[in-house]
A and B are shown apart, each in its own frame.
Chain A
Amino acid sequence: MAKTFRTSWNHIRRSPYQSFAAIFIMLQTFFVITLFAFIFVGSARIINYFESQPKVTIFFKDTAKQSDIDALESQLKATGKVSNMRFVSKEEAFKTYQQWNKDQPILLDLVTADVLPASLEIATTNIDDLSSIAQLVNASPIKDNVTYPKDVITNLVSWTNALRKIGIVVIAFLTLDAIFLMMIIIGIKVSHKRQEIEIMRLLSATNGYIRWPFLVEGVSYGVIGAVIGFITATSILLYASPFLASYLGDASLIPTQPEFLLLLFAGELFVAVLLGCLSSFLAVLRYLK
C-alpha cells in the first residue's frame, strides 16, 4: 500500500501543471457546492423561521366582544389550515409595548392598555394557506386591521426555489466538468505510461496493481480540491456572518454551527472520494481493456 501511495505521489509530482489543473477544477466544484449548501440551508432556515412565525395578525376593534372573538377562533380552527393561534389581550399587548420601550419613559407615559388593540396571531400549517386565512379574517366585522407579510414570504420562496434550481444546474455542470477534466488529465498520464503499463502486464501485473495508483491519484485530487474549496467558502461565510446576522436579525439562521459544518465537510469528502475514484476508474478502464 505504501508503494501505491509513493507511485501516486510520483505521478502527481512529475506532472505538476496537470495535477494543478485537476486540483483547481475540483476546488472550483467544491467551492460552489459549499456556497450553494450554505445558501440552501440558510434559505430553508429563513423560510422555516417565517413559517413558524404568526403570519396573519388580526387586530380587533375596541367594540369586539369576547364571544365574537371565540366564534372567529372556532371558525379558523374549522378550516384545518391553522397550526397555531395566540390571543393577545390589550394588557398583554401593553406589557410587550413596555418591554420594547423600557428605555423610553416618555413613550411609556403616553400609552395605556386601553389605547392598544387586542389581537389574534395565526400561524398556518402550509405557507400557501396564508392568503385564504387572510381573506377569511378580513371579512370579519370585528376586525380593525389585518397584517401579514405576504410579499416577503412569496418573494423569499420564489427566490429560494430559483436559487435551488440554479444551484442544482450549476453543481451538475461543474461536477460533469470535473469528471471529464479529471478523466482527460489522468487519461493523459496513463497514456504517457502506456509502455510501462504494457511491460508491467507482461511481467504479471494484475489490473488492480496498475489501477490503484491512478485511483489514489484521482482521490487525492478530489480530497485536496474539496478541502481547499470548503475552507475557502467557509472562510467567506464566517467573514460575512456578522453582516448577515445584523441584516437577518438572527445569527442562528446563518449555517455556521460546527455540527453542520462538520457534517457538510464529511459529506463533501465522501463525494470527493467518489468523484476521484469514478473519473480515474473510467480513465484507466480505456487502457486496461
Chain B
Amino acid sequence: MMITLENVTKTFGTGAIALSDINLKIDKGEFVFLIGPSGSGKTTFLRLLTREMLPNAGSIVVNDVDLVKLPNNKVPELRRKIGVVFQDLKMLMDRTILENISLPLEMVNMDQKDAQVRIDEILEQVGIMDQKDKFPIQLSGGELQRAAIARALVFSPEILLADEPTGNLDPTTSWEIVKLLQDINKAGTTVVMATHNADIVNSLLKRTIALEKGKIVKDTKKSTKAQAPKSNK
C-alpha cells in the first residue's frame, strides 16, 4: 500500500475542521482524483501527505513511513519521494525555469553533469525545453504548469501530488496537462490530483474521492468493491 490514512482528523487553531475521521488507502500506481468544493479539505489532505502539517488524530503512512512519528530531520528525505505540483505553483520568480527545476538537485549536491542530464530528460518529457532559460513571468499558464510538474518530477518520485493543476487553464491546455499526468502515471508513479474540473474527472473514469466539509462522501474504488459482490450474485 502506497498511502494509508486511518482515522485522520485535522482541525485548525480557529476551530475549523479541515478533515474529520478520514480512512483511506491508495495503492501503488493508482491515479486518484480528489474532488470537492473549496474548503472541503483537498489541499489539507495533500499537505498532510508531505508533512507540511500534522494531523490532530490518526495515522498517515506513506510507503511504510509513519508521517506522524517521522522526525523533523527526515522530512526532507520524505519530500524527495513525493513530488508536489502546488496550487500556486511556488516558482521562484527571480530564477529561470532551468534554475527552478535544478534547485532540488542542488539541495542534494548532485553532480552537475548528472543534474544536467536529468533536467534535460525532464524538460523533454514535459515539453518545455525551449523555455528553460526564460523567467516564470515570461511563460504562459500551461507552460508554467509544465515547469512545476517538471520540478516535482526531478527526483523521480514514487508519488505525485497535484493540487488543482488545471485551475487557471483553458480546456485545451487543461487536457494537455492531464495527459501529461496520465503519462507519468503510466510510467509507474502514483498520482493524486485535486481538481474542480468535472469534465476531466467524468471523462477519465479514474478512482475519485469526493470530500465535503472534511469528510469523504464518495470513493469510487470502495463503491466499485461494494458493488462487485452484488453483481456477482
- A-side residues, CB < 8 A to B, are 3, 196, 199-200, 202-206, 209
On whether the beta carbons of B92 and A196 are closer than 8 Å, the reply is yes
On whether the beta carbons of A206 and B90 are closer than 8 Å, the reply is no
5 closest Cβ contacts across the A-B interface?
A: A204-B79, A204-B76, A204-B80, A199-B90, A206-B76
Question: Please, what's the 1-or-0 string for B87-103, where 1 marks a CB less than 8 Å from any CB in chain A?
Answer: 00010100000000001
On whether the beta carbons of B79 and A202 are closer than 8 Å, the reply is yes
Question: Please, what's the 1-or-0 string for B14-27, where 1 marks a CB less than 8 Å from any CB in chain A?
Answer: 00000000000000
On whether the beta carbons of B79 and A200 are closer than 8 Å, the reply is no
Q: Within the complex, which residue of B86, B90, B107, B155 is in contact with A205, where a contact is CB–CB below 8 Å?
A: B107
Cα separation A208 to B151 with both chains bound (whole Å):
21
Cα separation A202 to B76 with both chains bound (whole Å):
8
Q: Which residue of A lies closest to B90 (CB)?
A: A199
Q: Which residue of B lies closest to A209 (CB)?
A: B107
- For chain B, the bracket of interface size reads 10 to 19
- B-side residues, CB < 8 A to A, are 50, 52, 73, 76-77, 79-80, 84, 86, 90, 92, 103-104, 106-108, 151, 155
On whether the beta carbons of B86 and A200 are closer than 8 Å, the reply is no
**B108 partner residues in chain A, CB cutoff 8 A:** 204
Return A224 CB to nearest CB of chain B, in Å.
26
Cα separation A240 to B107 with both chains bound (whole Å):
52
- Given A203-B103, A204-B104, 18 new contacts (CB under 8 A): A196-B92, A199-B92, A200-B103, A200-B107, A202-B84, A202-B86, A202-B90, A203-B104, A203-B107, A204-B77, A204-B79, A204-B80, A204-B155, A205-B76, A205-B107, A206-B73, A206-B76, A209-B107
**A196 partner residues in chain B, CB cutoff 8 A:** 92
Return B85 CB to nearest CB of chain A, in Å.
11
Cα separation A203 to B81 with both chains bound (whole Å):
10
**A3 partner residues in chain B, CB cutoff 8 A:** 106
Return B155 CB to nearest CB of chain A, in Å.
8
Cα separation A196 to B95 with both chains bound (whole Å):
11
Cα separation A14 to B38 with both chains bound (whole Å):
40
Cα separation A202 to B82 with both chains bound (whole Å):
10
Cα separation A203 to B73 with both chains bound (whole Å):
14
